[in-house]
C-alpha cells in the first residue's frame, strides 16, 4: 500500500451519509492510499481519517467581513477551515479531491504534490438565489471564491451539464459531469398492485414548495396514495406541511431510511415523483440522487419540465413529464396513471439500470485523478 499515490478526499459534510462522497471513497480506496477529512466517523476502507467537529460550520457567518468584502478574512474565519487546518498536514498528499467550493481554497493551500481536483456539487454563486439576503451578502463571496480559486484546480467536475456549462460561461472553467447516479443494484420489476403507491423524498425547505404535493393529492381516488419523506431542515415549515396534509388521507409522512436501504425501500413503490419547481438556478438544473435511485429500484418516474431530467426520461422511456410546475399540472399527471403505463416505465428502468448507474459515471473522476497523477494509476490498471 505504501507505494500507492496518496489521495485526500476533503468535504465539509457528514461523510458517512453523503452519497456522492461515499462513491468517491468506494472508487479510490483500492487504487490509492485514501485519507478523508469530514464531519463524523471514518467511512469504511480508508487508510486515515481526519474528523472535524460536528459544529464547525463551513459557510460564512462573519457579517462585518461580508459587508466590507474582506473575503480572505471571511474564509479563514470559517470554523470548518480552522478545524481542518488544525489537523491536516501540509505537503503530505499527492492529490486532493476537494468537494464543494468551500473546500477548494483550503485544498490548494495544503500543497498537494501533484494537484487538486474540485468536485462542485452545485453552482455555488447562485445556490440560494431565491433568498434576498443570500444574494446580497453571500453570493458576492461565492463569486470571489470562484474568480480567485477555480483556476488553481487541475480539473473540475459538477453534477449536471447545465451547471457545468455555467461554470465555463462565467469563469472559463472547463467542467466535466459526474451525475449523482446510484450504484448499480440487482433488482426485479414488481407488478403494480391494486393501489398505485407514489413516493417523494425531499429536504424540508420552503423554496421547494412541497405544498404542491398536498394540493395535487386532495380528493385523490382510492387507488392512489403518496408517501412523503421530508427532512426537518426547516422544522416550522415541515410542521405546516403535516398540518395541511392531515385532512388528505392519501398522504402519509414516513421516516427516512438509511442510505444502504434506500433502493430496497423504494422498490416497494410504483412511482417516484421528482418534482422540483425551479425556484433557483440549481433546482432548475437539478439531476438529483432520487432520480437515479428510482431507476435502480425499478420504479417509474414523474418529473417536472426540468431540462436535465426531461432528456433522460424521454431517452429511456422512464416516466411522465408534467406540463409545468403547478400543483394542477402535477395532479393531472398523477390522476391519469394506469397500471399498464407504470408497468412499462418499470421495465424501462430495469433496461436502463446499468447504463444509468454510478459505475458508468465515476470513470470521469477516475480519469481526472489519473491525469493528475501523471498516468501512474492508468499503468497500474492497464
The residue whose grid cell reads 421495465 is: 347
pLDDT on residue 317: 98
pLDDT on residue 90: 97
23-to-9, 20, 33, 63, 373 alpha-carbon distances in Å: 11, 5, 16, 35, 20
Provide the 10 A C-beta neighbour count for residue 63: 10
pTM attached to this predicted model: 0.90
Residue 57, classified by CB atoms within 10 Å of its CB into exposed (0-12), middle (13-18) or buried (19+), is middle
Q: How far apart are CA 112 and CA 373, in angstroms?
A: 11
CA 320 distance to own-chain centroid: 22
| Residue pLDDT tens, the chain, 382 long | 458 999 999 999 999 989 999 999 999 999 999 999 999 999 999 999 999 999 999 999 999 999 999 999 999 999 999 999 999 999 999 999 999 999 999 999 999 999 999 999 999 999 999 999 999 999 999 999 999 999 999 999 999 999 999 999 999 999 999 999 999 999 999 999 999 999 999 899 999 999 999 999 999 999 999 999 999 999 999 999 999 999 999 999 999 888 889 999 999 999 999 999 999 999 999 999 999 999 999 999 999 999 999 999 999 999 999 999 999 999 999 999 999 999 999 999 999 999 999 999 999 999 999 999 995 444 444 4
User: Domains along the chain?
Assistant: 6-178+362-381 (3.40.50.2000), 196-352 (3.40.50.2000)
Backbone angles phi, psi at 79, to 5 degrees: -55, -35
259-266 and 289-296 helices, crossing angle to 10°: 60
Q: How far apart are CA 269 and CA 373, in angstroms?
A: 44
SS (H, E, C) the chain: CCCCCEEEEEEEEEHHHCHHHHHHHHHHCCCCEEEEEEECCCCCCCCEEEEECCCCCCCCCCHHHHHCCCHHHHHHCCHHHHHHHHHCCCCCCCEEEEECHHHHHHHHHCCCCCEEEEEECCCHHHCCCCCHHHHHHHHHHHHHHHHHHHHHCCEEEECCHHHHHHHHHHHCCCCEECCCCCCCCCCCCCCCCCCEEEEEEEECCHHHCCHHHHHHHCCCCCCEEEEEEEECCCHHHHHHHHHHHCCCCCEEECCCCCHHHHHHHHCCCCEEEECCCCCCHHHHCCCCHHHHHHHHCCCEEEECCCHHHHHHHHHHCCEEECCCCCHHHHHHHHHCCCHHHHHHHHHHHHHHCCCCCHHHHCHHHHHHHHHHHCCHHHHHHC
Return the bridge partners of 198, or none: 226, 271
Q: How far apart are CA 57 and CA 146, in angstroms?
A: 20
Amino acid at each position: 500500500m505504501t507505494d500507492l499515490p496518496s489521495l485526500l478526499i476533503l468535504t465539509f459534510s457528514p461523510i458517512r451519509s453523503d452519497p456522492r462522497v461515499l462513491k468517491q471513497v468506494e472508487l479510490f480506496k483500492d487504487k490509492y492510499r485514501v485519507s478523508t477529512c469530514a464531519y463524523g466517523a471514518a467511512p469504511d476502507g480508508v487508510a486515515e481519517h481526519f474528523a472535524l467537529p460536528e459544529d464547525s460550520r463551513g459557510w460564512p457567518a462573519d457579517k462585518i467581513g461580508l459587508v466590507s468584502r474582506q473575503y480572505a478574512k471571511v474564509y479563514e474565519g470559517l470554523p470548518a477551515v480552522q478545524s481542518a487546518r488544525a489537523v491536516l498536514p501540509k505537503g503530505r498528499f499527492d492529490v486532493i479531491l476537494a468537494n464543494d467550493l468551500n473546500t477548494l481554497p483550503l485544498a490548494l493551500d495544503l500543497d498537494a504534490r501533484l494537484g487538486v481536483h474540485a468536485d462542485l456539487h452545485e453552482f455555488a454563486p447562485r445556490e440560494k438565489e431565491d433568498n434576498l439576503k443570500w444574494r446580497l451578502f453571500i453570493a458576492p463571496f461565492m463569486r470571489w471564491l470562484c474568480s480567485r480559486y477555480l483556476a488553481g484546480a487541475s480539473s473540475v467536475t459538477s453534477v449536471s451539464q447545465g451547471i457545468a456549462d455555467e461554470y465555463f460561461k462565467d469563469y472559463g472553467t472547463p467542467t466535466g459531469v459526474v451525475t449523482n447516479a446510484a450504484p448499480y443494484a440487482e433488482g426485479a420489476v414488481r407488478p403494480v398492485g391494486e393501489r398505485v403507491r407514489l413516493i417523494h423524498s425531499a429536504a424540508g425547505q420552503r423554496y421547494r414548495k412541497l405544498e404542491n404535493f398536498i394540493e395535487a393529492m386532495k380528493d385523490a381516488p382510492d387507488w392512489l396514495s403518496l408517501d412523503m419523506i421530508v427532512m426537518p431542515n426547516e422544522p416550522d415549515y415541515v410542521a405546516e406541511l403535516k398540518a395541511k396534509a392531515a385532512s388528505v388521507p392519501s398522504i402519509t409522512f414516513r421516516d427516512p431510511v438509511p442510505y444502504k436501504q434506500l433502493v430496497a425501500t423504494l422498490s416497494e413503490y410504483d412511482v417516484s415523483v421528482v418534482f422540483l419547481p425551479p425556484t433557483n438556478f440549481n433546482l432548475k438544473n437539478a439531476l438529483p440522487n432520487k432520480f437515479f435511485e428510482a431507476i435502480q429500484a425499478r420504479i417509474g418516474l414523474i418529473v417536472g419540465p426540468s431540462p436535465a431530467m426531461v432528456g433522460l426520461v424521454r431517452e429511456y422511456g422512464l416516466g411522465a413529464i408534467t406540463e409545468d410546475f403547478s400543483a394542477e399540472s402535477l395532479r393531472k399527471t398523477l390522476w391519469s396513471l394506469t397500471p399498464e403505463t407504470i408497468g412499462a416505465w418499470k421495465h424501462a428502468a430495469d433496461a436502463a439500470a446499468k447504463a444509468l448507474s454510478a459505475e458508468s459515471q465515476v470513470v470521469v473522476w477516475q480519469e481526472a485523478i489519473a491525469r493528475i497523477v501523471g498516468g501512474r494509476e492508468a499503468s497500474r490498471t492497464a
